[in-house]
A and B are shown apart, each in its own frame.
Chain A
């Protein structure tokens, strides 16, 4: 089942912070975050695994609440380059690599 992302869209000024949420109705093994700019491929940001392991960008932080099947992506001191659509991809069964993506959150950072 497709995870639900919120908000659907957000507009920020440079330097402001944002939080993007991803919620699933199924128990999750991992959550993957990607950013996609218009006309480009999704770019990997972070993986969060059940048990607490994380891999990803130094300047991006995220959390994974296994009990609530929720993940949040924290974008602090936003820059113009942060603009794009953010997707969470969830993996329900362990170690399959089969990702189910949310509908996306569009972030626009203005000067």
Chain B
């Protein structure tokens, strides 16, 4: 049983560019959450998708957007990249339809903005 997978593993972009990160949830999971983890910090909640809709959102600007597909996989898009967007982006999936349950994290995508 494959766990949560994310692609790409690493990414280098320059300021002002746009980036798309991808996440495939664990088999049987229908809810995907995205987190940003800066070096030495805890993960920060960006948003959560369930039934192809954004259900919850953290304190992130509109430059951060997402999408969930019918197969439950998800994308995170970041426009107009800033140096401060450099971080590890984690995807977590759960089987709960957006309710409280265990969230399983993927290995993350390391984004570097130059």
Known contacts A95-B100, A96-B56, A97-B99; A41/B106 CB under 8 A: yes
**In the complex, number of A-B residue pairs with CB atoms less than 8 Å apart:** 74
Indicate if B44 sits at the interface (CB-CB under 8 A): yes
Q: Count chain B residues whose beta carbon lies closer than 8 angstroms to a beta carbon of A.
A: 28
Q: Which of B103, B104, B108 contacts A97 (CB 8 A)?
A: B103
Indicate if B68 sits at the interface (CB-CB under 8 A): no
Indicate if A49 sits at the interface (CB-CB under 8 A): yes
Q: A2-39 toward B: CB 8 Å interface, digit per residue (1/0)?
A: 10000000000000000000000000011010100000
Indicate if A75 sits at the interface (CB-CB under 8 A): no
- On chain A, the residues within 8 Å of B41 by CB distance are 103-104
Interface of A toward B, CB cutoff 8 Å: 2, 29-30, 32, 34, 40-44, 47, 49, 55, 87, 89, 91, 94-104
6 contacts between A and B (CB under 8 A): A30-B100, A41-B107, A96-B48, A97-B48, A97-B55, A98-B33
Interface of B toward A, CB cutoff 8 Å: 4, 31, 33, 35, 40-45, 48, 55-56, 58, 90, 94, 96, 98-108
